[in-house]
Structure 1
Amino acid sequence: MKISTKGRYGLTIMIELARKFGEGPISLKAIAQTHDLSEHYLEQLISPLRNAGLVKSIRGAYGGYILAKEPALITAGDIISVLEGPISPVEGLEEEEPAKRELWIRIRDAVREVLDSTTLEDLANHSGGDASSYMFYI
């Protein structure tokens, strides 16, 4: 299973909005410049996030985007499922022999557990220092 740039950049947008939560709207241009990303690509990603009720758009000269909920109420799983679709390590799971199917199901469930138990608040507060300070177990 591989998370594409849609999921990675979508998380980037959402983490930035979480870091600025309560400070007013943030423009996609500002996020794109901060992370050296394509503003046009971020515009494509924000629409499904808005449609899913994860972000709100604010119009006007000082407009941009804000989170629709507190960062503690939005998980990485919410974002990845909107942008990437269902989590599955392999296609055709039902066609696998039982032993392999069980392995793939356990992997899928472990990945889901990590994504669904990691909130935007967790990600926004992570300083990025020592890699061992934020450990995921699969």
Structure 2
Amino acid sequence: MRLTTKGRFAVTAMIDLALRQANGPVTLAAISQRQQISLSYLEQLFGKLRRNELVESTRGPGGGYTLGRKAEDITVADIILSVDEPLDATHCGGKENCMGEAGRCMTHDLWSALNQRMVEFLDSVTLQKLVDDQLAQGVKIESKPMVKRAISAMPAVKPVRTTAPNSVFALGNAFAKG
């Protein structure tokens, strides 16, 4: 049994989100940058996490993602299963047809027991525990960055009102009258 990048990245992104959501919704672009995970890949994963109600999305400026439940109520098994990561060490996918028509292989019960232990273990580890572990290891959480506004560094220049002519023709007329 091998945990693929889908499950690993989903758990990593959820830890990142849980660490930072106190400052408001977290953007996938920020998670992508911090964790070096493709933004399009995160969008796929978070679509599945949202459908399974592990995260909630907020649209618009200042939007992003927050946890759909408390971190202590989300387990690693919840995250991995939400992104369709198979947790199966059997060759047959649990169908007991490892040997085709001949039925189960001799090691089927061994791999089935391993599956059960993996699910039990991953179900015993909460997202909150993983967050606490990161904080204990000294992970620094930046405070909410200042909102960048579309303000130019150059001061606004007010138009200058003049009584001078605004074209060559108006200039000619001004001289003709004077």
Give how far 1:21 is off.
3.7
Tell me the alpha carbon deviations over residues 81-113 of structure 1, each in whole angstroms, 9 at most, x when there is no partner: 111344210231413547512211111111111
Greater RCO, 1 or 2 (C-alpha within 8 Å, sep 6+): 1
Task: Tell me the residue number matched to 1:12.
Answer: 12
Unaligned runs of 5+ in 1: 130-138
Are 1:63 and 2:63 counterparts?
yes
Instruction: Structure 2 unaligned segments of length 5 or more: list them.
Output: 99-103, 138-178
**Whole-angstrom CA distance in 1 between matches of 2:32 and 2:77:** 23
- TM-score, structure 2 normalization: 0.67
The letter of the residue matching 1:110 is: R
TM-score (ref. length: structure 1): 0.85
- Across the aligned residues of Structure 1 and Structure 2, the Cα RMSD in angstroms comes to 1.7
Quote the residue 1:135 is aligned against: none
User: Which residue in 2 is equivalent to 1:126?
Assistant: 133
Question: How many matched pairs?
Answer: 129
Tell me which structure has the larger Cα radius of gyration: 2
Shift in alpha-carbon separation, 1:98–1:37, aligned structure 2, 3 A = closer
Q: Quick one: distance in 1 between partners of 2:90 and 2:113?
A: 12
- What amino acid is the match of 2:5? T
- State how far apart, in whole Å, the 1-side matches of 2:85 and 2:60 are: 32
The letter for the 2-side match of 1:80 is I
* Secondary structure of residue in 2 paired with 1:95: coil
Runs of 4+ residues over 6 Å off in structure 1: none
SS in structure 2 of the partner of residue 20 of structure 1: helix
Is the 8 Å Cα contact of residues 25 and 63 (structure 2) preserved in structure 1?
yes
2:7/2:85 contact within 8 Å kept: no
Letter in 2 for 1:95: N
